[in-house]
Structure 1
Amino acid sequence: METRKITDPEVLKGLTQPLRRKLFRLLQQIGPATAGMLAKRTDSDPGLVSYHLRELAKHGFIVEAPELARDRRERWWRLVPEATSWDTLDFPGPEGAAITDTLKAQMVADELERLTTYQRTFHAWPQEWQRASMSSDSQIRMTPDELRQMTAELLEVITRYTDQGRNPDGTPIPDDGRESVFLFFHVFPEKP
């Protein structure tokens, strides 16, 4: 899968809106959908959802999927089939720092909320999923080069497994026994 590197602050700013991030994530998890379908899942107004979907499209994160529409009124959306990445260092100055700091803080809060939700519902999952999930933390002594090498290797593994569960157009393969699995990790230096 290709990776799109975001360097335009206006594009990155498009992801700082919480409902937009939620819609983007839902399209990752369930595949193509209409604004009405997404409005029900987010308990939001369909007009508001439509607006945010158009904003995501304007910034190149999603595209329309007209081939899925049953009539002219139905408007389907899907993710652009590429990963995205961004680096805080590509957004210098106070405006860039404000955008990246805001987005990163929102992402971390969202990740922790999702982990907390899983922990609350852990026992509702079948045992095979309970045994397959894991949490881990490590304290490793590394150089910056070793850290870059390790994260590159981890990303290769993640990409390989991501591709296995998706069609060539990036949509999830339906009904093949897979569940949507959330993986997040942070690696960073830390002073004792």
Structure 2
Amino acid sequence: MAEIRDEAVLKAVAHPLRRRILDNLRVDGPSMPSALARATGQAVANVSHHLRVLAEAGLVEEAPELARNRKEHWWRMGDPRLTWDPANFSPEAAEAADAIGLQRQIDLINTWLGSPASRTEPWVHSAIAADFWLRLSPQELAELGAELEAVVLKYRNRPEREDREPVFLMSRGFPARP
């Protein structure tokens, strides 16, 4: 897992389009700017600019071995798992990154809920939405997070099959009052 410690890198990740580009590279693997532009509804030049910003931040890299000719420019992610400790950054930078991440999650949820697939088989009974109230210490919450990550990693990087689609899984745990 790559831990972000530099505020410039955190700012690079916090941009909404860059988050979408990273998500596409996580799910679909290496890609060219033209394919990422189609996937995000952006101009190729705009996507290319944001790929360069992500590359300067060390989050993506060129994959020249995938190019069939000198006109093709392929990009891939380094480590697809990114984390950061808000205590390492200014409160403003950490809040901005968290807000962009949360908005991305909300956008994905709203897109799913607005899609016909959310109300039809086979996904209508497969999709999960759950919330729980637990009484935990900070250490217990950290342990729960590690256990959940271990379960999720068991399902990561499964080979493609006709019945498998990209699935977004979200979990959050934090102290709160009802």
2:139 is matched with which residue?
Answer: 145
State percent identity of aligned pairs. 33
Match of 1:103, as an amino acid? Answer: A
Supply the distance in 2 between the matched residues of 1:89 and 1:160 (Cα, whole angstroms): 30
Match of 1:45, as an amino acid? Answer: A
Structure 2 gap ranges (5+)? none
Change in Cα spacing, 1:32 to 1:111, as seen in structure 2 (3 Å) is same
Residues 133-166 of structure 1: CA deviation (Å, up to 9, x unaligned):
1101111111112111111101111122114x2x
8 A contact 2:118–2:124 mirrored in 1 = no
5 Å-filtered alignment, 1:45-56, equals 45-56=43-54
2:92 is matched with which residue?
Answer: 98
Match of 1:75, as an amino acid? Answer: H
TM-score normalised by structure 1 residue count: 0.86
For this pair of structures, how many residues does the alignment match? 178
Residues 53-81 of structure 1: CA deviation (Å, up to 9, x unaligned):
11111111111111211101100111113
Change in Cα spacing, 1:134 to 1:57, as seen in structure 2 (3 Å) is same
Deviation of 1:129 (Å): 2.3
Supply the distance in 2 between the matched residues of 1:44 and 1:113 (Cα, whole angstroms): 17
Supply the distance in 2 between the matched residues of 1:174 and 1:8 (Cα, whole angstroms): 35
Please list every run of at least 4 consecutive aligned residues from structure 1 whose deviation after the TM superposition is greater than 2 angstroms.
122-126, 173-177
Superposed CA RMSD: 1.7
Supply the distance in 2 between the matched residues of 1:157 and 1:175 (Cα, whole angstroms): 21
Q: Give the secondary structure class of the aligned counterpart of 1:63.
A: strand
Structure 1 gap ranges (5+)? 166-172
Please say if 1:186 is aligned against 2:172: yes
TM-score normalised by structure 2 residue count: 0.92
